Amino acid sequence: MKNIILASKSERRKKLLNEMGVNFITIPSSIDEQNFNEKIRPSSFCMNLAKLKASDVANKNPNSLVIGSDTIIYFNNKIIGKPKNIKQAKQYISNFSNKTHAVYSGVFIIIKNINFKVQFYDKTLVTFHKLLKEDIEYYIKNYNCLDKAGGYGIQSWSKVFIKKINGCYNNVVGFPVSKFHILCRLNKILNETIR
């Protein structure tokens, strides 16, 4: 079995892969997530960024199986990534109040030395309750809102914002586990670790 590398420093992605029983190491990519054209389809945007992350790490580890991933929010015809500051995080969350937004996660898997590549994305619709200002303030004050697309993490206290979701919950957390599992099975990769 090839060495498996997650090209990410995301604790959420690491936790999800660990829960699947995947034996891997993490090597974050050096790709700057801020400098990309946002005027493309959200599915293409997150898959392209996942590809850049994985390819960056695969260039230095050509014999390893490298997994890159990126999660974004699509709302009001705009791609929303991680907020740049507290003010922007608060604005994002306020904008989602009583509305539905889409969460996209793109994944790119590569083994460079044999030119093996798999690319896919998943989409989940998330609807927020009508939010109280004090709840938004409490969340912003007590939780890290700057390292998550849209400023919130569905797995943290901000789960109270959620009225309903349509699609994969883990996709909103940051990695589409079930779709990843199915495509790994179809492509006969990770068979020694995924059960």
Active site residues: 70
- CA angle (141 as vertex; 134, 93 as ends), nearest 5: 60
- Find how far residue 86's CA is from the centre of its chain: 20
At how many degrees (to 10) do helices 177-186 and 11-20 cross?
50
Distance CA 119, CA 183 (A): 9
Q: Are the beta carbons of 125 and 42 closer than 8 angstroms? A: no
